Structure 1
Protein backbone atom coordinates (compact mmCIF):
# COMPACT_ATOMS: atom_id res chain seq x y z
CA UNK A 1 0.00 0.00 0.00
CA UNK A 2 1.20 3.51 -0.79
CA UNK A 3 2.36 5.74 2.06
CA UNK A 4 0.39 8.98 2.35
CA UNK A 5 1.16 12.53 3.33
CA UNK A 6 -0.89 12.62 6.51
CA UNK A 7 -3.40 15.36 7.19
CA UNK A 8 -3.65 16.57 10.81
CA UNK A 9 -6.47 19.06 10.37
CA UNK A 10 -4.35 22.16 9.80
CA UNK A 11 -3.52 22.01 6.07
CA UNK A 12 -5.50 22.69 2.90
CA UNK A 13 -8.16 19.94 2.56
CA UNK A 14 -8.36 20.27 -1.24
CA UNK A 15 -4.62 19.79 -1.53
CA UNK A 16 -4.81 16.70 0.67
CA UNK A 17 -7.61 15.18 -1.41
CA UNK A 18 -5.59 15.79 -4.58
CA UNK A 19 -2.54 14.05 -3.07
CA UNK A 20 -4.69 11.15 -1.87
CA UNK A 21 -6.34 10.72 -5.29
CA UNK A 22 -2.92 10.77 -6.94
CA UNK A 23 -1.65 7.99 -4.67
CA UNK A 24 -4.84 5.98 -5.21
CA UNK A 25 -4.94 6.49 -8.99
CA UNK A 26 -4.95 2.74 -9.68
CA UNK A 27 -7.93 2.19 -7.35
CA UNK A 28 -9.98 5.34 -7.94
CA UNK A 29 -12.70 3.24 -9.65
CA UNK A 30 -13.16 1.23 -6.44
CA UNK A 31 -15.40 3.52 -4.35
CA UNK A 32 -15.61 1.38 -1.15
CA UNK A 33 -11.82 0.89 -1.16
CA UNK A 34 -11.23 4.66 -1.55
CA UNK A 35 -13.36 5.22 1.58
CA UNK A 36 -11.76 2.41 3.62
CA UNK A 37 -8.18 3.51 2.91
CA UNK A 38 -8.83 7.24 3.43
CA UNK A 39 -8.40 7.23 7.25
CA UNK A 40 -4.80 5.96 6.81
CA UNK A 41 -4.04 9.40 5.32
CA UNK A 42 -5.28 11.16 8.47
CA UNK A 43 -3.61 11.79 11.80
CA UNK A 44 -4.42 13.52 15.09
CA UNK A 45 -7.57 15.64 15.20
CA UNK A 46 -8.47 14.81 11.58
CA UNK A 47 -8.38 11.06 12.30
CA UNK A 48 -10.49 11.64 15.41
CA UNK A 49 -13.02 13.56 13.28
CA UNK A 50 -13.29 10.61 10.88
CA UNK A 51 -13.72 8.07 13.70
CA UNK A 52 -16.55 10.13 15.16
CA UNK A 53 -18.65 9.90 11.97
CA UNK A 54 -21.92 8.09 12.62
CA UNK A 55 -22.04 4.51 11.42
CA UNK A 56 -23.00 4.21 7.70
CA UNK A 57 -22.99 8.01 7.32
CA UNK A 58 -20.55 7.80 4.38
CA UNK A 59 -22.29 6.02 1.48
CA UNK A 60 -19.60 6.78 -1.13
CA UNK A 61 -16.29 8.54 -1.71
CA UNK A 62 -17.91 11.67 -3.19
CA UNK A 63 -19.90 12.17 0.03
CA UNK A 64 -16.75 11.63 2.08
CA UNK A 65 -14.96 14.35 0.08
CA UNK A 66 -17.87 16.76 0.53
CA UNK A 67 -17.95 16.15 4.30
CA UNK A 68 -14.17 16.47 4.58
CA UNK A 69 -14.08 19.77 2.65
CA UNK A 70 -16.97 21.16 4.70
CA UNK A 71 -15.22 20.26 7.96
CA UNK A 72 -11.94 21.93 7.02
CA UNK A 73 -13.13 24.68 4.66
CA UNK A 74 -11.56 27.30 6.93
CA UNK A 75 -8.12 25.90 6.11
CA UNK A 76 -8.57 26.14 2.37
CA UNK A 77 -5.83 28.18 0.75
CA UNK A 78 -7.29 31.24 -0.95
CA UNK A 79 -6.65 31.50 -4.67
CA UNK A 80 -4.50 34.43 -5.66
CA UNK A 81 -5.77 36.90 -8.21
CA UNK A 82 -3.87 38.50 -11.09
CA UNK A 83 -3.46 41.70 -9.05
CA UNK A 84 -0.80 39.98 -6.91
CA UNK A 85 1.48 39.79 -9.98
CA UNK A 86 1.52 43.59 -10.23
CA UNK A 87 3.32 43.80 -6.87
CA UNK A 88 6.42 41.99 -8.19
CA UNK A 89 9.46 44.03 -9.17
CA UNK A 90 12.92 42.92 -10.22
CA UNK A 91 15.33 43.99 -7.50
CA UNK A 92 18.49 45.94 -8.20
CA UNK A 93 21.31 43.43 -8.65
CA UNK A 94 18.91 40.48 -8.93
CA UNK A 95 19.89 38.09 -11.71
CA UNK A 96 17.46 37.32 -14.51
CA UNK A 97 17.47 33.65 -13.42
CA UNK A 98 16.40 34.52 -9.85
CA UNK A 99 13.80 37.02 -10.98
CA UNK A 100 12.31 34.62 -13.56
CA UNK A 101 12.06 31.83 -10.95
CA UNK A 102 10.37 34.17 -8.47
CA UNK A 103 7.91 35.45 -11.08
CA UNK A 104 7.03 31.97 -12.36
CA UNK A 105 6.39 30.72 -8.83
CA UNK A 106 4.02 33.60 -8.17
CA UNK A 107 2.27 33.16 -11.54
CA UNK A 108 1.76 29.42 -10.91
CA UNK A 109 -0.34 30.27 -7.83
CA UNK A 110 -2.87 32.13 -9.99
CA UNK A 111 -5.61 30.17 -11.70
CA UNK A 112 -6.76 31.22 -15.18
CA UNK A 113 -3.90 33.66 -15.66
CA UNK A 114 -4.10 34.86 -19.27
CA UNK A 115 -0.71 34.56 -21.04
CA UNK A 116 -0.82 38.09 -22.47
CA UNK A 117 -1.51 39.60 -19.04
CA UNK A 118 1.30 37.55 -17.46
CA UNK A 119 3.78 38.62 -20.15
CA UNK A 120 2.86 42.31 -19.90
CA UNK A 121 3.13 42.11 -16.10
CA UNK A 122 6.55 40.49 -16.45
CA UNK A 123 7.72 43.37 -18.67
CA UNK A 124 6.43 45.94 -16.17
CA UNK A 125 8.28 44.17 -13.36
CA UNK A 126 11.63 44.06 -15.17
CA UNK A 127 14.44 46.57 -14.83
CA UNK A 128 14.13 48.65 -18.00
CA UNK A 129 17.01 49.08 -20.40
CA UNK A 130 18.35 45.52 -20.22
CA UNK A 131 18.87 43.56 -23.44
CA UNK A 132 16.14 41.09 -22.53
CA UNK A 133 13.68 43.88 -21.75
CA UNK A 134 14.41 45.46 -25.16
CA UNK A 135 13.89 42.08 -26.83
CA UNK A 136 10.47 41.66 -25.16
CA UNK A 137 9.37 45.16 -26.15
CA UNK A 138 10.39 44.62 -29.77
CA UNK A 139 9.03 41.07 -30.11
CA UNK A 140 6.47 40.15 -27.48
CA UNK A 141 6.29 36.33 -26.99
CA UNK A 142 2.90 34.63 -27.58
CA UNK A 143 3.00 32.61 -24.34
CA UNK A 144 4.93 32.03 -21.11
CA UNK A 145 6.75 28.97 -22.52
CA UNK A 146 8.23 31.08 -25.32
CA UNK A 147 9.16 33.81 -22.83
CA UNK A 148 10.95 31.26 -20.61
CA UNK A 149 12.77 29.73 -23.60
CA UNK A 150 13.96 33.15 -24.78
CA UNK A 151 14.94 34.11 -21.24
CA UNK A 152 17.35 31.14 -21.11
CA UNK A 153 19.40 32.72 -23.92
CA UNK A 154 19.78 35.97 -21.95
CA UNK A 155 20.42 34.08 -18.70
CA UNK A 156 23.35 32.29 -20.35
CA UNK A 157 24.60 35.63 -21.70
CA UNK A 158 24.29 37.24 -18.26
CA UNK A 159 26.12 34.33 -16.60
CA UNK A 160 28.86 34.44 -19.25
CA UNK A 161 29.41 38.18 -18.75
CA UNK A 162 29.49 37.74 -14.97
CA UNK A 163 32.02 34.93 -15.34
CA UNK A 164 34.23 37.03 -17.62
CA UNK A 165 34.05 39.98 -15.21
CA UNK A 166 35.14 37.74 -12.32
CA UNK A 167 37.94 36.30 -14.44
CA UNK A 168 39.14 39.81 -15.32
CA UNK A 169 39.25 40.77 -11.62
CA UNK A 170 41.11 37.54 -10.82
CA UNK A 171 43.71 38.19 -13.54
CA UNK A 172 44.20 41.78 -12.37
CA UNK A 173 44.69 40.70 -8.75
CA UNK A 174 47.05 37.90 -9.83
CA UNK A 175 49.20 40.25 -11.91
CA UNK A 176 49.58 42.98 -9.29
CA UNK A 177 52.12 41.22 -7.02
CA UNK A 178 54.20 40.18 -10.06
CA UNK A 179 54.31 43.78 -11.26
CA UNK A 180 55.48 44.91 -7.84
CA UNK A 181 58.17 42.23 -7.78
CA UNK A 182 59.35 43.11 -11.30
CA UNK A 183 59.31 46.84 -10.41
CA UNK A 184 61.41 46.23 -7.28
CA UNK A 185 63.88 44.12 -9.31
CA UNK A 186 64.23 46.83 -11.94
CA UNK A 187 64.86 49.42 -9.22
CA UNK A 188 67.58 47.20 -7.70
CA UNK A 189 69.22 46.74 -11.10
CA UNK A 190 69.07 50.52 -11.69
CA UNK A 191 70.75 51.13 -8.32
CA UNK A 192 73.39 48.50 -9.10
CA UNK A 193 74.15 49.91 -12.55
CA UNK A 194 74.18 53.55 -11.43
CA UNK A 195 77.74 54.91 -11.02
CA UNK A 196 78.82 55.69 -7.49
CA UNK A 197 79.21 59.42 -6.72
Structure 2
Protein backbone atom coordinates (compact mmCIF):
# COMPACT_ATOMS: atom_id res chain seq x y z
CA UNK A 1 0.00 0.00 0.00
CA UNK A 2 2.86 2.36 0.82
CA UNK A 3 4.51 1.49 -2.51
CA UNK A 4 1.35 2.30 -4.46
CA UNK A 5 0.93 5.59 -2.62
CA UNK A 6 4.56 6.49 -3.32
CA UNK A 7 4.18 5.78 -7.06
CA UNK A 8 1.01 7.90 -7.15
CA UNK A 9 2.82 10.79 -5.51
CA UNK A 10 5.73 10.46 -7.96
CA UNK A 11 3.37 10.49 -10.91
CA UNK A 12 1.61 13.55 -9.52
CA UNK A 13 4.93 15.34 -9.06
CA UNK A 14 5.93 14.38 -12.60
CA UNK A 15 2.71 15.84 -14.02
CA UNK A 16 3.16 18.98 -11.96
CA UNK A 17 6.73 19.41 -13.18
CA UNK A 18 5.68 18.95 -16.84
CA UNK A 19 2.93 21.53 -16.46
CA UNK A 20 5.40 23.93 -14.88
CA UNK A 21 7.89 23.40 -17.75
CA UNK A 22 5.16 24.02 -20.36
CA UNK A 23 4.08 27.15 -18.52
CA UNK A 24 7.66 28.45 -18.41
CA UNK A 25 8.19 27.70 -22.13
CA UNK A 26 4.97 29.54 -23.01
CA UNK A 27 5.97 32.52 -20.91
CA UNK A 28 9.42 32.62 -22.54
CA UNK A 29 7.85 32.43 -26.00
CA UNK A 30 5.48 35.27 -25.20
CA UNK A 31 8.35 37.42 -23.95
CA UNK A 32 10.37 36.79 -27.14
CA UNK A 33 7.39 37.72 -29.28
CA UNK A 34 6.82 40.90 -27.27
CA UNK A 35 10.51 41.82 -27.49
CA UNK A 36 10.58 41.19 -31.24
CA UNK A 37 7.46 43.26 -31.68
CA UNK A 38 9.07 46.11 -29.75
CA UNK A 39 12.44 45.99 -31.51
CA UNK A 40 11.31 45.33 -35.12
CA UNK A 41 10.36 48.63 -36.81
CA UNK A 42 6.98 48.61 -38.51
CA UNK A 43 7.07 48.42 -42.31
CA UNK A 44 5.12 51.61 -42.68
CA UNK A 45 6.35 53.12 -45.98
CA UNK A 46 4.32 54.09 -49.05
CA UNK A 47 4.50 52.16 -52.31
CA UNK A 48 2.55 53.77 -55.14
CA UNK A 49 3.02 50.75 -57.43
CA UNK A 50 0.33 48.08 -57.73
CA UNK A 51 1.02 44.53 -56.55
CA UNK A 52 1.37 43.38 -60.15
CA UNK A 53 4.23 45.82 -60.74
CA UNK A 54 5.84 45.00 -57.40
CA UNK A 55 5.74 41.25 -58.13
CA UNK A 56 7.63 41.66 -61.42
CA UNK A 57 11.35 41.16 -60.73
CA UNK A 58 14.01 43.25 -62.50
CA UNK A 59 16.53 40.88 -64.15
CA UNK A 60 20.04 41.02 -62.73
CA UNK A 61 21.40 41.92 -66.16
CA UNK A 62 19.72 45.32 -66.16
CA UNK A 63 21.95 48.34 -65.55
CA UNK A 64 20.70 51.38 -63.64
CA UNK A 65 19.56 54.33 -65.74
CA UNK A 66 22.07 57.16 -66.22
CA UNK A 67 19.49 59.96 -66.49
CA UNK A 68 18.27 61.51 -63.23
CA UNK A 69 15.44 63.94 -62.48
CA UNK A 70 15.52 66.26 -59.46
CA UNK A 71 12.27 68.12 -60.11
CA UNK A 72 13.89 71.09 -61.86
CA UNK A 73 14.45 69.66 -65.36
CA UNK A 74 12.19 69.45 -68.41
CA UNK A 75 9.96 66.36 -67.94
CA UNK A 76 9.72 65.71 -71.68
CA UNK A 77 13.49 65.76 -72.06
CA UNK A 78 13.82 63.31 -69.16
CA UNK A 79 11.21 60.95 -70.59
CA UNK A 80 12.92 61.09 -73.99
CA UNK A 81 16.29 60.21 -72.44
CA UNK A 82 14.70 57.39 -70.44
CA UNK A 83 12.90 55.95 -73.48
CA UNK A 84 16.13 56.07 -75.48
CA UNK A 85 17.99 54.06 -72.86
CA UNK A 86 15.13 51.56 -72.47
CA UNK A 87 15.10 50.96 -76.23
CA UNK A 88 18.57 49.47 -75.84
CA UNK A 89 17.75 47.12 -72.93
CA UNK A 90 14.04 46.34 -73.42
CA UNK A 91 12.06 45.17 -70.40
CA UNK A 92 8.42 44.72 -69.38
CA UNK A 93 6.05 47.54 -68.49
CA UNK A 94 6.57 46.84 -64.80
CA UNK A 95 10.36 46.93 -65.21
CA UNK A 96 10.05 50.31 -66.93
CA UNK A 97 8.04 51.61 -63.98
CA UNK A 98 10.62 50.47 -61.45
CA UNK A 99 13.61 51.72 -63.43
CA UNK A 100 11.93 55.08 -64.01
CA UNK A 101 11.37 55.40 -60.26
CA UNK A 102 15.12 54.85 -59.77
CA UNK A 103 15.84 57.97 -61.87
CA UNK A 104 13.92 60.24 -59.48
CA UNK A 105 15.93 62.01 -56.80
CA UNK A 106 15.35 64.80 -54.30
CA UNK A 107 11.96 66.47 -54.44
CA UNK A 108 10.97 64.30 -57.42
CA UNK A 109 11.28 61.18 -55.27
CA UNK A 110 9.27 62.86 -52.52
CA UNK A 111 6.53 63.55 -55.08
CA UNK A 112 6.53 59.91 -56.18
CA UNK A 113 6.25 58.40 -52.70
CA UNK A 114 3.44 60.85 -51.89
CA UNK A 115 1.20 59.11 -54.45
CA UNK A 116 -1.47 56.80 -52.95
CA UNK A 117 -0.49 53.21 -52.25
CA UNK A 118 -1.07 50.93 -55.23
CA UNK A 119 -2.15 53.87 -57.39
CA UNK A 120 0.24 53.32 -60.33
CA UNK A 121 -0.72 50.37 -62.53
CA UNK A 122 1.20 51.05 -65.78
CA UNK A 123 4.08 53.04 -67.23
CA UNK A 124 1.68 55.05 -69.41
CA UNK A 125 -0.16 56.19 -66.29
CA UNK A 126 3.11 56.98 -64.49
CA UNK A 127 4.30 59.03 -67.47
CA UNK A 128 1.02 60.98 -67.52
CA UNK A 129 1.23 61.75 -63.78
CA UNK A 130 4.87 62.78 -64.19
CA UNK A 131 4.11 65.16 -67.07
CA UNK A 132 1.20 66.74 -65.19
CA UNK A 133 3.27 67.25 -62.04
CA UNK A 134 6.15 69.01 -63.81
CA UNK A 135 4.35 70.67 -66.72
CA UNK A 136 5.62 74.08 -65.59
CA UNK A 137 9.20 72.91 -66.29
CA UNK A 138 8.55 72.21 -69.95
CA UNK A 139 10.58 74.24 -72.40
CA UNK A 140 8.58 76.32 -74.87
CA UNK A 141 8.07 74.60 -78.23
CA UNK A 142 10.73 75.57 -80.79
CA UNK A 143 9.82 77.76 -83.76
CA UNK A 144 11.52 79.02 -86.91
CA UNK A 145 12.69 82.27 -85.30
CA UNK A 146 14.90 80.30 -82.91
CA UNK A 147 17.33 80.01 -85.84
CA UNK A 148 18.26 83.65 -85.33
CA UNK A 149 19.59 82.83 -81.83
CA UNK A 150 22.37 80.72 -83.36
CA UNK A 151 25.35 82.93 -84.11
CA UNK A 152 28.93 82.04 -84.89
CA UNK A 153 31.31 82.62 -82.00
CA UNK A 154 34.56 84.46 -82.41
CA UNK A 155 37.13 81.83 -83.33
CA UNK A 156 34.53 79.15 -84.05
CA UNK A 157 35.28 77.23 -87.22
CA UNK A 158 32.85 77.02 -90.13
CA UNK A 159 32.48 73.29 -89.54
CA UNK A 160 31.58 73.78 -85.87
CA UNK A 161 29.07 76.51 -86.71
CA UNK A 162 27.48 74.42 -89.46
CA UNK A 163 27.04 71.50 -87.05
CA UNK A 164 25.61 73.70 -84.29
CA UNK A 165 23.17 75.37 -86.69
CA UNK A 166 22.25 71.93 -88.04
CA UNK A 167 21.41 70.77 -84.53
CA UNK A 168 18.95 73.66 -84.28
CA UNK A 169 17.45 72.63 -87.63
CA UNK A 170 16.77 69.16 -86.23
CA UNK A 171 15.33 70.62 -83.03
CA UNK A 172 12.99 73.07 -84.76
CA UNK A 173 12.04 70.55 -87.45
CA UNK A 174 10.59 73.02 -89.93
CA UNK A 175 10.61 73.12 -93.74
CA UNK A 176 10.76 76.92 -93.92
CA UNK A 177 13.98 77.07 -95.95
CA UNK A 178 13.69 80.84 -96.53
CA UNK A 179 13.88 81.73 -92.83
CA UNK A 180 16.49 79.03 -92.26
CA UNK A 181 18.86 80.42 -94.92
CA UNK A 182 18.27 84.02 -93.89
CA UNK A 183 19.06 83.19 -90.25
CA UNK A 184 22.22 81.33 -91.24
CA UNK A 185 23.49 84.28 -93.26
CA UNK A 186 22.74 86.59 -90.32
CA UNK A 187 24.49 84.31 -87.84
CA UNK A 188 27.72 83.59 -89.69
CA UNK A 189 30.71 85.87 -89.25
CA UNK A 190 31.85 87.90 -92.27
CA UNK A 191 34.33 85.54 -93.92
CA UNK A 192 34.96 84.54 -97.54
CA UNK A 193 32.38 81.75 -97.29
CA UNK A 194 29.65 84.09 -96.04
CA UNK A 195 30.46 86.48 -98.89
CA UNK A 196 29.99 83.61 -101.35
CA UNK A 197 26.45 83.13 -99.99
CA UNK A 198 25.69 86.75 -100.92
CA UNK A 199 27.09 86.42 -104.43
CA UNK A 200 25.25 83.15 -105.07
CA UNK A 201 22.31 82.68 -102.76
CA UNK A 202 21.57 79.07 -101.80
CA UNK A 203 18.01 77.75 -101.95
CA UNK A 204 18.22 75.12 -99.22
CA UNK A 205 20.22 74.44 -96.06
CA UNK A 206 21.39 71.20 -97.69
CA UNK A 207 23.00 73.30 -100.40
CA UNK A 208 24.73 75.38 -97.71
CA UNK A 209 26.10 72.19 -96.16
CA UNK A 210 27.39 70.97 -99.51
CA UNK A 211 29.05 74.26 -100.36
CA UNK A 212 30.54 74.54 -96.87
CA UNK A 213 32.02 71.03 -97.17
CA UNK A 214 33.59 71.96 -100.51
CA UNK A 215 34.95 75.22 -99.05
CA UNK A 216 36.48 73.42 -96.03
CA UNK A 217 38.06 70.80 -98.29
CA UNK A 218 39.52 73.48 -100.54
CA UNK A 219 41.02 75.34 -97.58
CA UNK A 220 42.61 72.15 -96.25
CA UNK A 221 44.33 71.50 -99.57
CA UNK A 222 45.99 74.94 -99.63
CA UNK A 223 49.79 74.54 -99.14
CA UNK A 224 50.91 75.38 -95.63
CA UNK A 225 47.58 74.45 -94.08
Q: Same fold (TM over 0.5)?
A: yes
Change (3 A) 1:7 1:128: closer
Cross-structure match for 1:149: 210
Alignment equivalent of 1:21, drawn from 76, 80, 83: 83
Cross-structure match for 2:165: 103
Q: TM-score with structure 1 length normalisation?
A: 0.65
- d(CA) in 2 for partners of 1:34 and 1:21? 9
Q: TM-score with structure 2 length normalisation?
A: 0.58
Structure 2: state its 5+ residue gaps. 1-61
Secondary structure at the residue paired with 2:172? coil
Cross-structure match for 2:33: none
Larger radius of gyration: 2
- d(CA) in 2 for partners of 1:64 and 1:115? 39
Change (3 A) 1:56 1:129: closer
Decide whether the 8 Å contact of 2:185 with 2:197 is kept in 1: no
Report whether the alignment pairs 1:12 with 2:81. Answer: no
Report whether the alignment pairs 1:73 with 2:139. Answer: no
- d(CA) in 2 for partners of 1:24 and 1:91? 36
Deviates more, 1:82-91 or 1:72-81: 82-91
Report whether the alignment pairs 1:33 with 2:63. Answer: no
Secondary structure at the residue paired with 1:107? helix
Q: Report how many residues are paired.
A: 162
- d(CA) in 1 for partners of 2:207 and 2:146? 22
Structure 1: state its 5+ residue gaps. 168-197
Q: What is the root-mean-square deviation in Å for CA atoms of aligned residues? A: 3.0
Higher helix share: 1
Using the TM superposition, give the Cα deviation of residue 57 of structure 1 relative to its aligned residue in structure 2, in angstroms. 1.4
Decide whether the 8 Å contact of 2:193 with 2:212 is kept in 1: no
- d(CA) in 1 for partners of 2:82 and 2:151? 37
